[in-house]
Structure 1
């Protein structure tokens, strides 16, 4: 259970940051996927409001990063804001970015893997991995691996569990498990347990001419975010590091800018309440800062409270299998000791 059960869908991330100011002041924080008017910018602004030591903003587009950094500096002149360019669809740039981060800080207290993509047509990462799985899961998987020594160093000086890794997922994970026999969504034959769940609205069940299923690809990547979190929880406890996955809610951002009208309408119908970027960031702040969560208190949060993830997203055996596949796709071991 979280410390504040009264918080919900309309809670402000700034309010959460103020409540847990001691967990931010003097700490080093890194947020990925930062762009104007997005959940990442709302997350970064909330952290900035409570005097972090160094706040690192990481994203693909330098101009968008600088726009958010300038806004933060104008609102909070005393905050040391740094920017790092990283493309989560390119493992080479991820490695370069991790080296850059290590040159800026000697330890990392909070990592928020906020970045995410969604597309209606097939795209590939530089390494030839289906884009949504590659950028939404494999990219953060590698980035987290490379930053782990900084997190471990921070954890040595903090109460157990206060050092956090937060992974943004989505309720969309309920539509698909991991397609181990067809993770690139190439219309290969898969066993029954890996087939899309039904019934789904026509827009969500659409299959492109090349066999690509965009909604299933997105759902698979979000399931991966939660299973990644589960594995981290079970293997980082001894190092004093805790991890949680979050659903930010329905936020009006540019994430779905490539959706066609049918898909955009289908997604809109799933939303009961449209959040601002500040409200969309609040659950990430709870996951990152609530001291009641130092001890493993759940896995997945939505609207600032714990929420049940689908069964296939909380199976340790599936999590371990995904971990091994992810290691294969980054071509090295991610050993947690």
Structure 2
């Protein structure tokens, strides 16, 4: 990764550095909500003239400003928007089916959608909310889209994790918190650690994949259930540790380095922060057998095994 890139690097700067890795290629980004990092990822990519940008999220009608922004940058880009609720296995299957019906190839998949701060609640499939949306939905989507990814000369999967993975243990035996105390920090941390283990598992299967921490970004739709008082408390806590916040375009930069830097192959399965490969913040990242344990659990939960 370029050593000049760091905390303040913007998404536009990354795309400008790797413009030849964007032109004519096809990118899919989940979670393209306006003013979030998915939005800024797409806007930056548009400046380097990709062939096609695919957007996937729960509320397609809300993504019109993002589509309009992309076409304002380059009206020749093909933009397709798909609806899928990542917390629902059936919805993800329908979304993937629609994507595959219209797109023979996908070069880069950026799994950027996420939720944070949920009370203990379970998805329609009976899975804890953070784990269902942040990991399981992306696990299923990625595997269902592998036929299109494998048609790329250089397929890559980026999983947007978080420094919040520090509260994860790597033990997925009680993924639903049936026999241990639940806090949203533990649920979120478990799902974000799962993002890293998912990248590790993909790397073992020959798919270039990196997991990234975008940074602390306020004002996005990541945590709609948290009250302002809780958010203020969280902000104060982070400030006490001198954790600086980022703008959305700075937050999107690490995802784009992971997606575009040709040296990414050398760091396959790694964790990144501030546009650089970084040491993880939980010993659970390197827990022996955790990535395969997670893979088998995920296959069981979605009711399908995936052969490579």
TM-score class, shorter-chain normalisation, is over 0.9
- Deviations along 1:129-185, one digit per CA (max 9) or x if unpaired, are 11101111010000001001111111xxx2xxx421000001110112144332112
**1:244 is aligned to 2:210:** yes
1:173-184 to 2 correspondence within 5 Å? Answer: 173-184=165-176
Asked if residue 270 in structure 1 is aligned to residue 268 in structure 2, the reply is no
Query: Paired residues, what number?
Result: 302
Deviation at 1:76, TM superposition (A): 2.2
Are 1:225 and 2:195 matched, yes or no?
yes
Q: Which runs of 4+ in 1 moved over 3 A?
A: none
Deviations 1:50-79, CA, capped at 9 Å, x for gaps: 111110011111222222112211232221
Which of 187, 198, 222 is 1:255 aligned to?
222
CA distance in 2, matches of 1:181, 1:293: 31
Paired position in structure 2 for 1:288: 259
Partner of 1:76: 74
Q: What is the SS of the residue equivalent to 2:205?
A: helix
**TM-score where L is the length of structure 2:** 0.94
Residue 148 (structure 1) aligned with residue 146 (structure 2): yes
5+ long unaligned stretches in structure 2: none
Structure 1 residue 261: Cα displacement = 4.0
Q: Per-residue deviation at 1:120?
A: 3.6
* Contact 2:9–2:250 under 8 Å retained in 1: yes
Q: CA deviation at 1:262?
A: 4.8
Q: Who is 1:195 aligned against?
A: none
**Aligned partner of residue 151 in structure 2, secondary structure:** helix
Q: TM-score, normalised by structure 1?
A: 0.86
Match of 2:155 in 1: 163
How many Å apart are 1:335 and its aligned residue?
2.1
Aligned residue runs from structure 1 range 1-337, under 5 A: 2=1, 4-154=2-152, 158=153, 162-186=154-178, 188=179, 211-236=181-206, 241-252=207-218, 253-268=220-235, 269-270=237-238, 272-296=243-267, 299-309=270-280, 310-336=282-308
In 1, the alpha carbon distance for the partners of 2:100 and 2:216 equals 34
Q: Secondary structure at the match of 1:29?
A: strand
> RMSD over aligned Cα, in angstroms?
1.5
- Deviation at residue 297 of structure 1 after TM alignment: 5.5
Q: Which runs of 5+ in 1 are unaligned?
A: 190-210
Aligned residue for 1:294, secondary structure, equals helix
Hey, what's the Cα distance between the residues in 1 that align with 2:133 and 2:55? 17
Q: Is the 8 A contact 1:170 1:247 kept in 2?
A: yes
- Contact 1:30–1:56 (Cα < 8 Å) also in 2: yes
